[in-house]
Amino acid sequence: MSGAPSIVQRRIAITALACVLAFALIGVRLLDLTLLRARSAIAAFPSAHVVASRADIVDRNGLLLARDLIVHDVSVQPYLLADRAAAARDLGMATGVNAQRLLHQFAEHDKPNQFVLIARQVTPDIEDRLTGLALPGLEFDPAMKRFYPQDRAAGQVLGQTDADGRGLTGVELGLDRQLRAGRSVQLSLDMRVQFALAHEVEAAREQYNAKAAGGIVINVNTGEILAMASLPDAASDLGDGAAGANPTRNRMLRDIYELGSVFKIFAFTLAVQDHTIRLDETFRIGSGFRIGRYTIHDAEHMPATLAARDILAQSSNAGTAQIALRSGPERQQAFLRTMGLLSPVHSEDPEGAKPLFPRRWGQTETATVGFGHGISVSPLSFVTAAAMVVNGGRRITPTFLKRSGDARGEQVISPEASATMRGLLRYVVTNGTGRLADIQGYDVGGKTGSAEKIEHGRYVAHKLLTSFCAVFPIDDPRYLVFVLLDEPHGANASGVMALAGHTAAPLAGRVVARIAPMLEMPTDAPMLAEAGGSP
């Protein structure tokens, strides 16, 4: 049956039409808010857009190190502002943005639905200030900002991201693809160890008024980096003479140094590996060792002769030069290449520095490289190679990611040579220059390094780079601690007292004493007697 629509049908049709019109208006508004506004915002500030959330970074124990949190980008429609000059002034005071720049942009975008981006990723306190201005046309858009809950701790390892959530430095850069894909990262860092290392290194830097300082703790069997400090790590900490220093730069990975006597580890490892010396064999030291037109001297007075083991223990340049020459240029160069010291070290931080070494590698270069001059490497590169010397002679790859189980690879040094070197490094601590690194109960082995720095092409005797490489427990190594002080001096470190045995060695010992209990390392120190007794 057909006929004119009933009243009910008319009401239904009117209601349906009203719904269609309402949805159409909503659609137009959404289009305005998305497409039109986006074009205006991009025109005012081309890089403005909401970024995707980056995944978390945690340490090996699950402690949060980095997380994206929702903040807001703030923008305004200049068309709605009654007093643009006053608005620009108030917005500038609230955000720190240049008011004149805002006023200029207001003039360029003064039509309806045109927006000017005021600031990106504003913090809640700034957002409160902006809200209190009660300006018309002020809008807040959700965005993401990277927060680091541990503040500056391990900041140079973690690195930085830009305003768009892209990694710029450190592991934020090296693991950028994984983090942007939303896959969280668990690092090898142990923040307990990190805090202890950074605290002791900073205390030593202040004690000796050093220009800079740093340190690394690495597991010699897995390659896991448990801690890495590079100080100063804030602009406010830069002292006199630090012009041009960059507190965000990770010196342990991005800088290279002539490390001096700590590098003797490799000359001795090669000699032990190739059986070119006997540990009880004596060498003439006297007043130095002459090679060509050069005479190699020692930093301290040495006896007329020294046994090979005492050449390492007392850190004789003249003796080490003779031992290195027995290996010869070609063999020395090939060995250092095998140990990874002639190429950049690779890790999850892609900014590892390239080493610097002689183009012409003759007898003189072989002698000086033997005691750590004429070759510059990054501390991480040195640490990786030194770990292979003591871990049974097997290759490791340094990593900032948590690993499980032994990660040692191919054999690069014989197990017998590795065992001999462990004994020699223990001897350095018990009978040589490393005595102040000896920590009762943990059988530390190690080596000192005191290198004269170069200025204007010449070595400067009173400007030293001191370091110490400590391994514990030396009979079955688990961890290696490396510390470095750049130009330690002052009342507590002048002349001989500025050498590594008096500056870097005790620093390494303090680090070992603090972190060994954290790492649940057993101690063979004698237990205290019952209360009231004596040790």
Last residue of a domain, one of 186, 221, 237: 186
40-46 contacts: CB < 8 A, separation 24 or more?
40/109, 40/113, 40/114, 40/115, 41/75, 41/115, 41/116, 41/117, 43/109, 43/114, 44/75, 44/105, 44/108, 44/109, 44/114, 44/115, 44/116, 44/117, 45/116, 45/117
Residue 243: inside a domain: yes
211 with 113, same domain: the answer is no
Structural domains of the chain, count: 2
Let me know whether 179 and 268 are in one domain: no
What is the Cα–Cα distance from 229 to 481, expressed in whole angstroms? 11
Give the domain-ending residue among 165, 186, 207: 186
Spatial CB neighbours of 151, under 8 Å, sequence gap ≥ 6: none
Residues 271, 341: one domain? yes
The answer to whether residue 302 sits within a structural domain is yes
Domain check: are 171 and 214 in the same one? no
The reply to whether 489 falls in a domain is yes
- Assess whether 133 and 182 both reside in one domain: yes
Residue located via tokens 């913090």: 123
- Which residues pair with residue 453 across a beta bridge? 460
Residues 205 and 174 in one domain: no
Q: Does 286 map to a domain?
A: yes
Match 């969280």 to its residue by tokens.
184
Number of residues that this document lists for the chain: 535
Residue 8 lies in a domain: no
Query: Is residue 78 reached through a cis peptide bond, with omega within 30 degrees of 0 on the bond before it?
Result: no
Q: Does residue 29 belong to any structural domain of this protein?
A: no
Q: Could you say which of 75, 188, 230, 261 is catalytic? A: 261
Active site residue 378: no
* Same domain flag for 145 and 217: no
Strand 64-76 with 138-147, pairing? antiparallel
Q: What is the pLDDT of residue 300?
A: 85
CATH code at 80? Answer: 3.90.1310.10
Per-residue pLDDT of the chain (535 residues; tens, 9 = 90+): 445 556 545 555 565 555 555 555 544 444 343 334 434 443 444 444 445 589 999 999 999 999 999 889 999 999 999 999 999 999 999 999 999 999 999 999 989 999 999 998 898 899 999 999 999 999 999 988 899 999 889 999 999 999 889 999 999 999 999 999 999 999 999 999 999 999 999 999 999 999 999 999 999 999 999 999 999 986 555 554 444 457 778 999 999 999 999 999 999 999 999 999 999 999 999 889 999 888 998 888 899 999 999 999 999 999 999 999 999 999 999 999 999 999 999 999 999 999 999 999 999 999 999 999 999 999 999 999 999 999 999 999 999 999 988 999 999 999 999 999 999 999 999 999 999 999 999 999 999 999 999 888 888 878 899 999 999 999 999 999 999 999 998 655 556 688 999 999 999 999 999 999 999 887 765 443 333 333 3
Same domain, 136 and 215: no
What does 70-124 look like in DSSP terms, one character per residue?
Answer: EEEEEEE-GGG-S-HHHHHHHHHHHH---HHHHHHHHHHS-STT--EEEEEEE-H
Helix/strand number for the chain, H first, E second: 18, 14
pLDDT value at position 12?
56
Strands 294-296 and 289-291: antiparallel
Same domain, 109 and 233: no
* CATH code, domain with 416: 3.40.710.10
| Domain limit, last residue, from 186, 201, 226 | 186
Q: What is the C-alpha to C-alpha distance for residues 445 and 469, in angstroms, rounded to an integer?
A: 8
Q: Which amino acid is at 266?
A: F
Q: Is the residue at 411 inside a domain?
A: yes
Same domain, 383 and 444: yes
Q: What is the pLDDT of residue 459?
A: 85
Q: Are residues 240 and 111 in the same domain?
A: no
Residue 433 lies in domain: 192-518
pLDDT at residue number 47:
41
Q: Is residue 1 part of a domain?
A: no
Q: Are 349 and 239 in the same domain?
A: yes
